[in-house]
Amino acid sequence: MELLRFGVKFFAENPAAVRLEEFIPVFHRWIQKHTVGGLLVDVADYSHVAQGPGVLLVGHEADFYMDEAEGPLGLLYSRKLPFEGTFADRVEQGLRTALDACAKLVAEPELKGRLTFRTGEALFLANDRLAAPNTEAAFAGLKPGLETAGRKLFPKGVAVTREGADPRGRLAARLRSL
């Protein structure tokens, strides 16, 4: 499948321990210090929106969110420009980039000791409804690539399950370490 735009999210272990506003100066510092790869452009504060996108670090190739829209608080990495390689390669790179950003957030001085992530599971979101409509057939087409990427990240194995069947929503899958 030629799905190029997608997101992956790792959920915070303890979402009540931090406030969304705390990520604003962190993300500004990431822009200044080039903390994560790619061209970073701006920070947008949507913390006032209930169950919304939270705080957004806008990039050229990808965006990073401290997001509450897709379930509980977590880091959502949303890829806008394609990675090279197969679908499985692209998903693996997205997962690794998101995990790297999670580790960097956990190490930030103002968040240290209060923020951790559940790294044994991730949410995958297809950001192209034309290439990957929210159907069982599209999920079946993505599942082998998600399993291949997940096995590289979770060496004990991975379970991939479809999340939600509303055809108006994005195709989503949960990857869980075995």
The C-alpha torsion from 7 through 28 and 45 to 57, rounded to 10°, is: -10
Q: Output the pTM of the full model.
A: 0.95
Average pLDDT along the chain: 96
Report the share of the chain in percent with pLDDT over 70: 99
Q: What pLDDT score was predicted for residue 52? A: 92
Can you give the pLDDT at residue 71? 82
What's the distance, CA 152 to chain centroid?
17
User: Is the per-residue pLDDT at 31 higher than 80?
Assistant: yes
Q: What angle do CA 106, 112, 113 make, to 5 degrees?
A: 105
Beta strand residue intervals within the chain, DSSP E = 6-11, 40-46, 54-59, 62-67, 74-79, 121-126, 158-163, 172-177
Q: How far apart are CA 155 and CA 137, in angstroms?
A: 27
Domain boundaries, the chain: 6-177
Residue 1 in this model has a pLDDT that exceeds 80? no
